[in-house]
Amino acid sequence: MPDSPLPPLPMGASPRVRAKNTPAPGLTDAEAQVDMRQLRAYRLGRVRAGLRAHDYAGCVLFDPINIRYAVGARNMAVWTLHNAARYCFIPTEGPVVLFDFHNCEHLSAYLETVDEARPACAWYYFSAGPRCAEKAGRWADEIADLVAAHGGGNKRLAMDHCDPLGAAALAGHGIEIASGQEVMERARAIKSADEVVLMNVAIAVCETAMARMREALEPGMTENQLWSILHQVNIAMGGEWIETRLLASGGRTNPWFQECGARVIRPGDLVSFDTDMIGPFGYCADISRTYFCGPGRPSGEQRRLYRLAWEQIHANMDLLGPGLGFREFAEKAFKLPDSCAPNRYSVLVHGVGMADEYPHCPYAVDFDRSGYDEVFEPGMTVCVESYVGEVGGDEGVKLEQQVLITETGTLLLSTYPFEDELLDRQI
């Protein structure tokens, strides 16, 4: 059964109190929907399986995305990405303790994955100032007590982030710190069926926003104005934030990675963007498209670049499947023309879940420098990337699709259409 989004109300609570605590409508009684308890059990189970495999007593997580994945708790995610104001202790065996921001312990009251909520001991400089060392010591004392109580004598503790003061304070307790990010990335890589459903919800929101961007695109608007539509739709439909500002028009599309700004979009411009959107339920929709801003028709060069990018992602999607090695994929992948190769994107394929994540597969020419030869597995969700722009050229094209690796091949998750005019199709 779906869980309640709020803690149980006291017996005899008045109708007014109940009305104030009534969640917004979202579930329907005529459809099979995601069992959130089952989802959270799966994710926490994968984290604990990783801890056991590495013989860790447990882990301490600071990254809000890792906390969200492991126990389903969220609170000021973007703010706590740069202020270490909350963290979570997850023993390999034993009760989970969430240390939350001041007076926020009630936010996790309904979560069966959190056995206890405590106030965090903050020791980042903004909060602790010159008392950082003192606060880090107090923090380490509390963590060491939990390791002693639930680690069964094991003092190997995984952490996703830890500043030097905290690491030194834990070492004073004889605790050995190991890489918690490895455990979390591996856990997050294989999605359950429930996770894929929630990712599809995020993609549906993202593609709704993309459609509204396409409808709104006209000469005279700025890049910022167009980009704001993605934010507005995402928030209005229950999403969370956008990771980047990757929208560019005209000559700013080449080279790639120029952030959107106040440039006025002109007739005949290409407009390329990468959504990098964290949508509902905390799942990422990472899709790229390139639009043509009319009136008029795209030039032959614009159509050529678009066709190359389209061919690249489709050829590479056709290669993907379970058991395929990353190096083999890179070596067989679509080859860009020499004139475009220096402007290539940083990866051919990357994992995606609650954000961009493991795995990472670069081009063959970059493999020895930045690649690692592992294999695609069923349950991975990945993004297939393309950027095509001539060195010194006027414009460039960014395209990207989001897919699920299945037992037999792949399943396309992103369904937003490509541009018929840019593919030179009859419309």
Express each pLDDT in 243-286 by its tens digit.
999 999 999 999 999 999 999 999 999 999 999 999 999 999 99
User: Out of 14-28, 91-105, 284-298, which region has the weakest mean confidence (pLDDT)?
Assistant: 14-28
Where residue 1 falls among pLDDT bands split at 50, 70, 90?
A: very low
Q: Are residues 81 and 120 in the same domain?
A: yes
Q: How confident is the model at residue 210, as a pLDDT?
A: 98
Residue 2 lies in a domain: no
pLDDT at 3 over 60: no
Q: Are residues 129 and 200 in the same domain?
A: no
pLDDT at 168 over 60: yes
Q: How confident is the model at residue 27, as a pLDDT?
A: 52
Q: How confident is the model at residue 2, as a pLDDT?
A: 41
Of 138, 125, 124, 131, the closest CA to residue 169 belongs to 138
Q: How confident is the model at residue 33, as a pLDDT?
A: 80
Q: How confident is the model at residue 393, as a pLDDT?
A: 96
Where residue 9 falls among pLDDT bands split at 50, 70, 90?
A: low
Give per-residue pLDDT as tens, 295-313. Answer: 999 999 999 999 999 999 9
Q: Are residues 107 and 250 in the same domain?
A: no
Final residue of a structural domain among 188, 207, 226: 188
Of 322, 321, 306, the closest CA to residue 270 belongs to 306
Q: How confident is the model at residue 10, as a pLDDT?
A: 56
Q: CATH no. for residue 321?
A: 3.90.230.10
Q: How confident is the model at residue 19, as a pLDDT?
A: 60
SS3 346: coil
Q: Are residues 102 and 122 in the same domain?
A: yes
Residues 6+ apart with CB under 8 A from 308: 336, 337, 340, 388, 397
Residue 138 lies in a domain: yes
Q: Are residues 338 and 246 in the same domain?
A: yes
Q: Are residues 139 and 82 in the same domain?
A: yes
Q: Compute the distance between CA of residue 104 and CA of residue 323 in angstroms, rounded to an integer.
A: 44
Of 189, 143, 185, 167, the closest CA to residue 322 belongs to 189
Residue 171 lies in a domain: yes
Distance linking the first and last C-alpha atoms of the chain: 47
Q: Are residues 66 and 23 in the same domain?
A: yes
Please state whether the peptide bond connecting residue 255 to the residue before it is cis, i.e. omega within 30 degrees of 0: yes
142: containing domain: 15-188
Q: How confident is the model at residue 425, as a pLDDT?
A: 73
- Taking the whole predicted model, whether its pTM rises above 0.85 is answered as yes
Q: Are residues 220 and 156 in the same domain?
A: no
Q: Are residues 142 and 244 in the same domain?
A: no
Q: How confident is the model at residue 122, as a pLDDT?
A: 93
Q: Are residues 109 and 242 in the same domain?
A: no
Tokens 């700025």 belong to which residue?
Answer: 222
- Is residue 139 within 8 Å of residue 118, measured between CB atoms? no
Q: Are residues 203 and 173 in the same domain?
A: no
Of 277, 113, 110, the closest CA to residue 202 belongs to 277
Residue 236 or 427, more confident: 236
Read off φ and ψ for residue 219, nearest 5 degrees: -60, 140
Residue 7 lies in a domain: no
Final residue of a structural domain among 165, 188, 211: 188
Please tell me the total count of domains within the chain. 2
Q: Compute the distance between CA of residue 423 and CA of residue 304 in angstroms, rounded to an integer.
A: 8
Residue 421 lies in a domain: no
Residue 426 lies in a domain: no
Q: CATH no. for residue 128?
A: 3.40.350.10
Write down the H helix ranges in 172-298.
180-189, 193-216, 223-236
Final residue of a structural domain among 155, 188, 221: 188
Give per-residue pLDDT as tens, 102-126. Answer: 999 999 998 999 999 999 999 999 9
Q: What angle do CA 223, 227, 232 make, to 5 degrees?
A: 145
Q: Are residues 117 and 228 in the same domain?
A: no
